[in-house]
Structure 1
Amino acid sequence: MTKAALQDETLPSANIQKDKMHKPVAEDFSPSFSSHKPRILLLYGSLRERSYSRLVIEEAARLLEYFGAEAKVYDPKGLPQPDTEDADHPKVKELRDLMIWSEGQIWCSPERHGSITGIMKSIIDWVPLNMGGIRPTQGKTLAVMQVSGGSQSFNAVNQMRILGRWMRMVTIPNQSSVAKAFLEFEEDGRMKPSAYYNRIVDVVEELVKFTLLTRDNSAFLVDRYSERVESAEEVSKRVNQK
């Protein structure tokens, strides 16, 4: 018996359902790349008239266009608090449609009381993991950024990384944190040259690379043994027993 055949017949545990196992090989990945522009959704967590998180997002959108992506910015103004309206509310529907449309995302929140803002959390909380069999965030790329009124901090980006993981997104390694953001922008809203701006360029460039690399294989990358063994409907029935 060959070594490969022996491996095929030997399971790590008797608990494993062999017919549901899949050993990843290079041939599983798509050999071709989609030719359309990467679709990137940008979210920010402030409603202020001069919102520095929005200004960072606008700079990122310009960079995305330069790097050959299609960028759409969601305006959270008018979005109700979670569970206060039905999902057919126009701002909720707009958000969820953009989530489905996107192949990658950028989130930028101010840091408030050592955390992301309530606005940012409300945006994310309106998006379920599953909508009628569609998972609007799973397998999509994510970049996280924050702005601070004081010294540089990473509390907000760290929390958004946790949220991104919970939403089953591929969060890129790089990130941006702009300290004393009120000093980093001109009156017209454009960002001044700085190391902070250079890092934003780094993050956007890296996000485009990861999106190009993963978008044609996102379904395979997030395919799970546990879900091949037990469907979402079966899981729901099991955990909601009376």
Structure 2
Amino acid sequence: MKILAVPGSLSEQSTTHMAVAIVANAAEKMGATVEIFDLREYPLPIYDGREESFYPETVHLFKQKMLEADGFILASPEYHGSISGVLKNALDFIGARELEGKLVALLGTAGGALGATNTLNTLNIICRTLHAWPLPSMPSVPQSYMAFKSDGTLKDEKLQQRLEDLGANLVKAIRLYGTELRVNAKR
């Protein structure tokens, strides 16, 4: 089982990447292979609707990895009440072909105490529009700049468990429903 994680942050000290690592590690413990598509290492140009063959290789690589994945972890910091520009831009390159009938774990981080509710709602809408199946649990890490210990785990043990459960539940859901959802989506 292949899971592709896409953290929507370019920050060197990204708490979004730290949160994704927790979810990814939990999914790997359940037997999945998780690859993180790091947009810092594979920058994508601004999506402008041109003929696909004119985009650089990083775009084709991203689209291929999205197509091959059985499920996804999509995560974003909350910027101005929504998802990051870099994640929105990446998602603009894909369509239902890559996401249809696939399960998605959504995760948000935020600097504020209220968390990333708007970000998660936006990601949920995008996924549903592309015929994907977002998991119902969508954890958010509030005040993420001070939420992590030096070892990369969360100070809040309950929140740590929620992120671990998200990774485990993604793998369980793909095992239970993944094939059936993709087949039914193509009918």
* TM, length-normalised to structure 2: 0.90
How far does residue 166 in structure 1 lie from its aligned partner after superposition? Answer: 0.8
In 2, Cα distance between equivalents of 1:86 and 1:197: 43
2: distance between equivalents of 1:143 and 1:80?
25
Aligned with residue 142 of structure 1, among 104, 127, 132: 104
Q: Does 1:39 align with 2:2?
A: yes
Does the CA contact (< 8 Å) of 1:111 and 1:148 recur in 2? yes
Aligned counterparts, 1:64-213, within 5 A: 64-77=27-40, 78-83=43-48, 87=52, 88-129=55-96, 135-153=97-115, 154-213=117-176
Return the alpha-carbon distance in structure 2 between the equivalents of residues 210 and 202 of structure 1.
12
Q: Deviations over 1:50-92 (max 9, x none)?
A: 0111111112221111111010100112211112876441221
Output aligned runs, 1:21-60, within 5 Å: 38-60=1-23
The amino acid of 1:121's aligned partner reads: K
Partners of 2:12 and 2:39 lie apart in 1 by 12
Larger of the two Rg values belongs to structure = 1
Alpha-carbon spacing, 1:142–1:203, altered in 2? closer, same or farther (3 Å): same
CA contact (8 A) 1:174 1:206 kept: no
Per-residue CA distance 1:6-51 (angstroms, 9 max, x = gap): xxxxxxxxxxxxxxxxxxxxxxxxxxxxxxxx21110111101001
C-alpha RMSD of matched pairs (Å): 1.7
Q: Is the 8 A contact 2:4 2:71 kept in 1?
A: yes
Identity %: 29
CA contact (8 A) 2:4 2:37 kept: yes
SS at match of 2:11: coil
Map Cα deviations across residues 184-240 of structure 1 (whole Å, 9 max, x no partner): 21335443352211110121121111111122223332144xxxxxxxxxxxxxxxx
Report the number of matched residues.
182
Q: Taking structure 1 as the reference length, what is the TM-score of the superposition?
A: 0.70
Instruction: Give every structure 1 segment of 4 or more consecutive aligned residues whose post-TM-superposition deviation is greater than 4 Å.
Output: none
Residue 43 of structure 1 aligns to a residue whose secondary structure is strand
Q: Secondary structure at the residue paired with 1:195?
A: helix
What is the CA-CA distance between 1:126 and the residue it aligns to? Answer: 1.1
Q: Please tell me whether the aligned partners of residues 174 and 202 of structure 1 are also in contact (alpha carbons under 8 angstroms).
A: no
Cα distance in structure 1, aligned partners of 2:106 and 2:179: 22
Amino acid at match of 1:71: V
Partner of 1:10: none
Q: CA deviation at 1:181?
A: 0.7
Segments of 5+ residues of structure 2 without an aligned counterpart are none
